[in-house]
Amino acid sequence: MTARKSTNTGSFSPPLEGTGEAFGEVSSFYDKVYEVARLVPPGRVTSYGAIAAFLGSAQSARMVGWAMNNAPVQEKFIPAHRVVNRNGLLTGKHHFGTPTAMQELLEAEGIQVVDDQITDFEKHFWNPMTELAME
């Protein structure tokens, strides 16, 4: 698999209606997912569904997960370890180098994980709908 060049400019642009081919639309959606994921601050987490809802596609949480699976091959770093499921479970942990890498990255940022679940999930949850609306 070849790394795809990122088209991000450093600023977030609102979602646009897709007009291209299906692959182009997926690629554009993934780029928007990556833009939002990069905004999650250290020590905070968000969910696949929260990113999907922010991008105006609330039913696309699974597609956000697929984007996170491709995060390691992107040119610019994406903190995929900060994106978890709606219950704070580390469902994407199998896509990291080792079975414990995702947990270790979160714990290095001060987030406690027990049995693959973030403790005090609500305390650490970063909701792009509210956090980015304030900017």
Per-residue pLDDT band at 133 (split at 50, 70, 90): confident
- Asked if the 22-131 domain carries CATH number 3.40.718.10, the reply is no
At 108 the pLDDT is 98
Mean pLDDT, the chain, rounded, equals: 85
- For the stretch 74-128, pLDDT in tens is 999 999 999 999 999 999 999 999 999 999 999 999 999 999 999 999 999 999 9
| CB contact at 8 A, 37 and 78 | yes
Percent of the chain at pLDDT > 90 equals 78
- For the stretch 19-29, pLDDT in tens is 344 545 667 99
Percent of the chain at pLDDT > 70 equals 79
At 27 the pLDDT is 78
The whole-angstrom separation of Cα 39 and Cα 25 is 22
For the purposes of burial, counting CB atoms within 10 Å of the CB of 111, is it exposed (0-12), middle (13-18) or buried (19 or more)?
Answer: buried
The ranges assigned to domains in the chain are 22-131
